[in-house]
């Protein structure tokens, strides 16, 4: 089989987002909808108003399996206080600087431990669909 020789670029901007609360416990949930031809994620901005640090585990969900990518530590009050929001892509894909999620797959995340009641953690991934 011959290798592809044509470059591929994102054609439609795509913002994916999910909000986590203590009601989500530690169950992985999808972050947005992946495009019909796959999505490239260039940034994952994470903010929390939790009074304890939040650890988010990220996965590529392919078929019926969650494949672990890594964990991102979100310090207390990131993005809501003088602590800057966290850029998750620098932890999850430090060499490439982006993630690709194929068509039919999903980017998922979960809190490693249950969050504080009445607090939220927001995950906003920006990129584009192929």
CATH number of domain containing 81: 2.60.120.340
The average confidence (pLDDT) of the chain is 93
Q: What is the tens place of the pLDDT at every residue in 74-126?
A: 999 999 999 999 999 999 999 999 999 999 999 999 999 999 999 999 999 99
Query: CB neighbours of 43 closer than 8 A, spacing ≥ 6?
Result: 87, 89, 125, 126, 127
The overall pTM is greater than 0.85 = yes
Predicted local distance difference test score (pLDDT) of residue 78: 95
Q: How many domains does the chain have?
A: 1
Q: Is residue 4 part of a domain?
A: no
Q: Is residue 122 part of a domain?
A: yes
Cα distances (angstroms) measured from residue 81 to each of 90, 111, 114:
21, 21, 21
Q: Is residue 6 part of a domain?
A: no
Domain range holding 70?
Answer: 12-129
- State yes or no: pLDDT of 13 exceeds 80: yes
Integer Cα distance of 126 and 97 in angstroms? 12
Triad 106, 55, 94: Cα angle to 5°? 65
């Amino acid at each position: 089989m011959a290798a592809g020789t044509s470059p591929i670029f994102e054609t439609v901007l795509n913002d994916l987002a999910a909000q986590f609360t203590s009601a989500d416990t530690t169950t992985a949930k999808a972050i947005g909808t992946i495009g019909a031809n796959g999505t490239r994620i260039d940034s994952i901005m994470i903010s929390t108003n939790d009074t304890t640090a939040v650890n988010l585990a990220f996965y590529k969900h392919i078929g019926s399996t969650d494949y672990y990518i890594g964990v991102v530590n979100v310090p207390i009050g990131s993005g809501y206080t003088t602590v800057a929001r966290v850029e998750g892509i620098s932890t999850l894909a430090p060499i490439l600087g982006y993630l690709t999620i194929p068509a039919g797959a999903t980017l998922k995340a979960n809190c490693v431990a249950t969050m504080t009641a009445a607090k939220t953690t927001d995950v906003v991934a920006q990129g584009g669909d192929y």
